[in-house]
Amino acid sequence: MAEAVRTARRVSALADVIEIRLDCIAEPAIPDFFSSLRCPLLFTNRPTWEGGRFSGQEGARVDCLMEAVSAGAAYVDLELQAPASSLMRLREAMAGQAARLILSRHDFAGTPPTRELFDWIHRMRECGADIGKIVTTAHDYHDVLRVLNLQEDCSALDFPLIAFCMGRAGLISRLATIELGGYMTYCAADGSEATAPGQIAVAEFRQICGLLQLQPEACQADSDE
Protein backbone atom coordinates (compact mmCIF):
# COMPACT_ATOMS: atom_id res chain seq x y z
CA MET A 1 0.00 0.00 0.00
CA ALA A 2 2.72 2.45 0.93
CA GLU A 3 4.50 1.95 -2.38
CA ALA A 4 1.23 2.24 -4.31
CA VAL A 5 0.41 5.57 -2.66
CA ARG A 6 3.94 6.90 -3.22
CA THR A 7 3.81 5.95 -6.89
CA ALA A 8 0.39 7.52 -7.38
CA ARG A 9 1.48 10.76 -5.70
CA ARG A 10 4.65 10.88 -7.81
CA VAL A 11 2.72 10.90 -11.09
CA SER A 12 -0.40 12.77 -9.96
CA ALA A 13 0.77 16.01 -11.60
CA LEU A 14 1.12 14.24 -14.98
CA ALA A 15 -2.14 12.28 -15.00
CA ASP A 16 -5.71 13.53 -15.35
CA VAL A 17 -7.00 10.32 -13.75
CA ILE A 18 -5.12 7.68 -11.76
CA GLU A 19 -6.13 4.05 -12.06
CA ILE A 20 -5.73 2.06 -8.86
CA ARG A 21 -5.18 -1.61 -9.69
CA LEU A 22 -6.49 -3.24 -6.53
CA ASP A 23 -5.56 -6.68 -7.85
CA CYS A 24 -1.89 -5.67 -7.75
CA ILE A 25 -1.98 -4.77 -4.04
CA ALA A 26 -1.80 -7.52 -1.42
CA GLU A 27 -3.91 -5.71 1.19
CA PRO A 28 -5.51 -2.62 -0.35
CA ALA A 29 -6.63 0.14 2.01
CA ILE A 30 -8.96 2.15 -0.22
CA PRO A 31 -9.45 5.17 2.12
CA ASP A 32 -5.69 5.82 2.06
CA PHE A 33 -5.83 6.71 -1.62
CA PHE A 34 -8.48 9.36 -1.06
CA SER A 35 -6.64 10.89 1.89
CA SER A 36 -3.38 11.06 -0.10
CA LEU A 37 -4.57 12.06 -3.59
CA ARG A 38 -6.70 14.90 -4.93
CA CYS A 39 -7.13 13.84 -8.57
CA PRO A 40 -9.99 11.66 -9.86
CA LEU A 41 -9.47 7.96 -9.15
CA LEU A 42 -10.42 4.93 -11.24
CA PHE A 43 -10.58 1.60 -9.40
CA THR A 44 -10.02 -1.74 -11.11
CA ASN A 45 -9.84 -5.18 -9.51
CA ARG A 46 -8.89 -7.28 -12.53
CA PRO A 47 -9.38 -11.07 -12.20
CA THR A 48 -6.92 -13.61 -13.55
CA TRP A 49 -9.42 -14.68 -16.20
CA GLU A 50 -9.09 -11.24 -17.81
CA GLY A 51 -5.36 -10.75 -17.46
CA GLY A 52 -5.32 -9.45 -13.88
CA ARG A 53 -3.97 -10.84 -10.63
CA PHE A 54 -7.06 -11.29 -8.47
CA SER A 55 -7.69 -15.00 -7.90
CA GLY A 56 -10.06 -14.90 -4.94
CA GLN A 57 -13.83 -15.16 -4.65
CA GLU A 58 -15.89 -13.06 -7.05
CA GLY A 59 -17.95 -11.60 -4.22
CA ALA A 60 -14.86 -10.31 -2.44
CA ARG A 61 -13.55 -8.84 -5.69
CA VAL A 62 -16.72 -6.82 -6.24
CA ASP A 63 -16.85 -5.83 -2.55
CA CYS A 64 -13.64 -3.83 -3.08
CA LEU A 65 -15.13 -1.98 -6.05
CA MET A 66 -18.28 -1.21 -4.06
CA GLU A 67 -16.14 0.18 -1.25
CA ALA A 68 -14.35 2.42 -3.75
CA VAL A 69 -17.71 3.71 -5.02
CA SER A 70 -18.82 4.58 -1.50
CA ALA A 71 -15.49 6.30 -0.80
CA GLY A 72 -15.87 8.65 -3.79
CA ALA A 73 -14.34 6.95 -6.83
CA ALA A 74 -14.73 8.85 -10.09
CA TYR A 75 -14.78 5.58 -12.08
CA VAL A 76 -14.94 1.85 -11.47
CA ASP A 77 -14.03 -0.74 -14.10
CA LEU A 78 -15.92 -4.03 -14.33
CA GLU A 79 -15.28 -6.68 -16.96
CA LEU A 80 -17.99 -7.22 -19.56
CA GLN A 81 -17.60 -10.96 -18.93
CA ALA A 82 -18.19 -10.65 -15.19
CA PRO A 83 -21.18 -12.57 -13.79
CA ALA A 84 -24.52 -10.79 -14.08
CA SER A 85 -24.77 -10.82 -10.28
CA SER A 86 -21.53 -8.81 -10.03
CA LEU A 87 -22.86 -6.18 -12.41
CA MET A 88 -26.15 -5.98 -10.52
CA ARG A 89 -24.43 -5.54 -7.15
CA LEU A 90 -22.12 -2.87 -8.47
CA ARG A 91 -24.87 -0.92 -10.22
CA GLU A 92 -26.97 -0.98 -7.04
CA ALA A 93 -24.01 0.39 -5.08
CA MET A 94 -23.52 3.14 -7.67
CA ALA A 95 -27.10 4.39 -7.48
CA GLY A 96 -27.00 7.98 -6.28
CA GLN A 97 -23.18 8.05 -6.34
CA ALA A 98 -20.94 10.12 -8.60
CA ALA A 99 -18.90 7.18 -9.89
CA ARG A 100 -19.19 6.24 -13.56
CA LEU A 101 -19.19 2.63 -14.71
CA ILE A 102 -16.64 1.42 -17.26
CA LEU A 103 -17.42 -1.99 -18.75
CA SER A 104 -14.27 -3.43 -20.26
CA ARG A 105 -13.28 -6.23 -22.62
CA HIS A 106 -9.70 -7.28 -23.32
CA ASP A 107 -8.21 -9.69 -25.84
CA PHE A 108 -4.60 -10.62 -25.12
CA ALA A 109 -4.28 -12.89 -28.15
CA GLY A 110 -5.47 -10.81 -31.07
CA THR A 111 -8.15 -8.50 -32.47
CA PRO A 112 -11.56 -9.99 -33.32
CA PRO A 113 -13.49 -9.19 -36.50
CA THR A 114 -15.39 -5.91 -36.63
CA ARG A 115 -18.74 -7.61 -36.11
CA GLU A 116 -17.59 -9.13 -32.80
CA LEU A 117 -16.19 -5.81 -31.63
CA PHE A 118 -19.56 -4.17 -32.34
CA ASP A 119 -21.27 -6.95 -30.39
CA TRP A 120 -19.14 -6.03 -27.38
CA ILE A 121 -20.16 -2.39 -27.70
CA HIS A 122 -23.86 -3.23 -27.90
CA ARG A 123 -23.59 -5.48 -24.85
CA MET A 124 -21.83 -2.72 -22.91
CA ARG A 125 -24.63 -0.29 -23.71
CA GLU A 126 -27.33 -2.82 -22.88
CA CYS A 127 -25.67 -3.51 -19.53
CA GLY A 128 -25.78 0.18 -18.60
CA ALA A 129 -22.15 1.19 -19.04
CA ASP A 130 -21.42 4.89 -18.84
CA ILE A 131 -18.21 4.25 -20.79
CA GLY A 132 -17.03 1.26 -22.80
CA LYS A 133 -13.46 -0.01 -22.94
CA ILE A 134 -12.12 -2.30 -25.67
CA VAL A 135 -8.44 -3.22 -25.69
CA THR A 136 -7.12 -5.88 -28.05
CA THR A 137 -3.73 -7.11 -29.18
CA ALA A 138 -2.59 -5.85 -32.57
CA HIS A 139 -0.41 -7.95 -34.86
CA ASP A 140 -0.41 -5.44 -37.71
CA TYR A 141 -1.89 -2.11 -38.77
CA HIS A 142 -5.13 -3.74 -39.92
CA ASP A 143 -5.89 -4.65 -36.30
CA VAL A 144 -5.09 -1.11 -35.18
CA LEU A 145 -7.36 0.51 -37.74
CA ARG A 146 -10.20 -1.87 -36.95
CA VAL A 147 -10.16 -0.83 -33.29
CA LEU A 148 -9.67 2.89 -33.88
CA ASN A 149 -12.53 2.93 -36.40
CA LEU A 150 -14.93 1.96 -33.60
CA GLN A 151 -14.89 5.58 -32.46
CA GLU A 152 -16.85 6.71 -35.51
CA ASP A 153 -19.76 4.43 -34.73
CA CYS A 154 -19.66 5.17 -31.00
CA SER A 155 -19.78 8.87 -31.77
CA ALA A 156 -23.00 8.31 -33.72
CA LEU A 157 -24.36 6.34 -30.75
CA ASP A 158 -23.22 9.05 -28.31
CA PHE A 159 -21.42 6.34 -26.35
CA PRO A 160 -18.01 7.22 -24.85
CA LEU A 161 -15.45 4.57 -25.73
CA ILE A 162 -11.90 3.81 -24.63
CA ALA A 163 -10.32 1.83 -27.46
CA PHE A 164 -6.73 1.04 -28.40
CA CYS A 165 -4.41 -1.92 -28.95
CA MET A 166 -1.69 -3.63 -26.97
CA GLY A 167 1.59 -4.84 -28.39
CA ARG A 168 4.28 -3.18 -30.50
CA ALA A 169 2.00 -2.79 -33.51
CA GLY A 170 -0.64 -1.21 -31.30
CA LEU A 171 1.64 1.35 -29.66
CA ILE A 172 0.60 4.16 -32.01
CA SER A 173 -3.06 3.57 -31.15
CA ARG A 174 -2.46 4.57 -27.52
CA LEU A 175 -1.65 8.05 -28.74
CA ALA A 176 -3.91 8.24 -31.78
CA THR A 177 -7.04 7.31 -29.85
CA ILE A 178 -7.13 10.59 -27.93
CA GLU A 179 -7.13 12.54 -31.20
CA LEU A 180 -9.77 10.30 -32.77
CA GLY A 181 -12.52 10.57 -30.17
CA GLY A 182 -11.28 8.11 -27.56
CA TYR A 183 -12.45 8.84 -24.03
CA MET A 184 -9.01 8.29 -22.47
CA THR A 185 -5.79 6.36 -22.85
CA TYR A 186 -3.62 4.56 -20.31
CA CYS A 187 0.03 5.05 -19.37
CA ALA A 188 2.39 3.39 -16.92
CA ALA A 189 3.67 5.24 -13.87
CA ASP A 190 7.15 4.58 -15.25
CA GLY A 191 8.82 2.30 -17.74
CA SER A 192 9.21 -0.58 -15.28
CA GLU A 193 5.59 -0.66 -14.12
CA ALA A 194 3.62 -1.26 -17.32
CA THR A 195 0.47 -3.29 -16.73
CA ALA A 196 -0.06 -4.20 -20.40
CA PRO A 197 2.15 -4.89 -23.45
CA GLY A 198 3.11 -1.69 -25.25
CA GLN A 199 2.19 0.66 -22.42
CA ILE A 200 4.56 3.64 -22.11
CA ALA A 201 5.40 5.83 -19.14
CA VAL A 202 3.19 8.85 -18.52
CA ALA A 203 6.17 11.26 -18.56
CA GLU A 204 7.23 9.97 -21.99
CA PHE A 205 3.65 10.18 -23.24
CA ARG A 206 3.45 13.83 -22.17
CA GLN A 207 6.70 14.55 -24.02
CA ILE A 208 5.36 12.97 -27.21
CA CYS A 209 2.15 15.00 -26.97
CA GLY A 210 4.20 18.15 -26.57
CA LEU A 211 6.31 17.38 -29.63
CA LEU A 212 3.25 16.68 -31.76
CA GLN A 213 1.67 19.99 -30.78
CA LEU A 214 4.77 21.79 -32.11
CA GLN A 215 5.02 19.76 -35.31
CA PRO A 216 2.57 21.76 -37.48
CA GLU A 217 4.44 25.02 -36.79
CA ALA A 218 7.75 23.33 -37.54
CA CYS A 219 6.44 22.04 -40.87
CA GLN A 220 5.15 25.47 -41.79
CA ALA A 221 8.52 27.03 -41.02
CA ASP A 222 10.26 24.48 -43.24
CA SER A 223 7.91 25.14 -46.15
CA ASP A 224 8.48 28.91 -45.88
CA GLU A 225 12.18 28.38 -46.26
What HEC string does the chain produce? CHHHHHHHHHHCCCCCCEEEEHHHCCCCCHHHHHHHCCCCEEEECCEHHHCCCECCCHHHHHHHHHHHHHHCCCEEEEECCCCHHHHHHHHHHHCCCCCEEEEEEECCCCCCCHHHHHHHHHHHHHCCCCEEEEEEECCCHHHHHHHHCHHHHHHHHCCCEEEEEECCCCHHHHHHHHHCCCCCCCCECCCCCCCCCCCCEHHHHHHHHHHHHHHHHHHHHHHHC
User: Of the listed 106, 122, 139, 142, which one is catalytic?
Assistant: 106
Q: Is 106 a catalytic residue?
A: yes
Catalytic residues: 106, 133
